[in-house]
Amino acid sequence: MALQNLFRLQFLKAHTDVILHCSVGLGKTHIASALGYTAYLAGKSVLFATAVDAIKTLAAAQVASKLKVELKKYLSPQILILDELGYLPIDKHGADLLFQVISQRYERGSTIITSNRVPSNSGRKYSSTTAPLRRRFSTDCSITLKHSSLKEKATA
């Protein structure tokens, strides 16, 4: 699926998930935000969160015995954008919480994930706990952005 086609929002009808992955500074977050904004203008519900913030929020809710309530916030939007998966390491508990969100969203809504890790290599950074996450997204839309980083150009 070409990047331009994503903005037609056809992936929402089939609840297809999208992974945008490339090195730092190529615009993954910008593209994901633009997709979310386009969907919002089309009347769709959208939630944006960094993966780490989502994990922290869910972990705090679990400690407060309010995990089920907090999970609903991540399960209800038609599009959930999880930004920066792979930027910081995730422990087993965090991966388990994130997996709950992603697995329960399956065929209920689309999830857009941005990552600076190529999916096949991401397990090396975390551990085997993210294997279910990688399998979950192996059949959906994955787009690798390949251009010079804007941040790299600014420092050159």
Buried b (16+ CB within 10 A) or exposed e, 39-70: beeeebebbbbbbbebbeebbebbeeeebeeb
Name which CATH class applies to 3-155.
alpha beta
The pLDDT score that the predictor gives to residue 1 is 52
Domain-wise residue ranges, the chain: 3-155
Rounded to 10 degrees, the C-alpha dihedral 18/130/92/29 comes to -30
Computed over every residue of the chain, the mean pLDDT equals: 82
Contact between residue 71 and residue 100 where contact means Cβ atoms under 8 Å apart: yes
- Nearest in space to 86 (alpha carbons), one of 3, 18, 150, 22: 22
pLDDT in tens, 20-78: 988 777 889 999 999 999 999 999 999 999 999 999 999 999 999 999 999 999 999 99
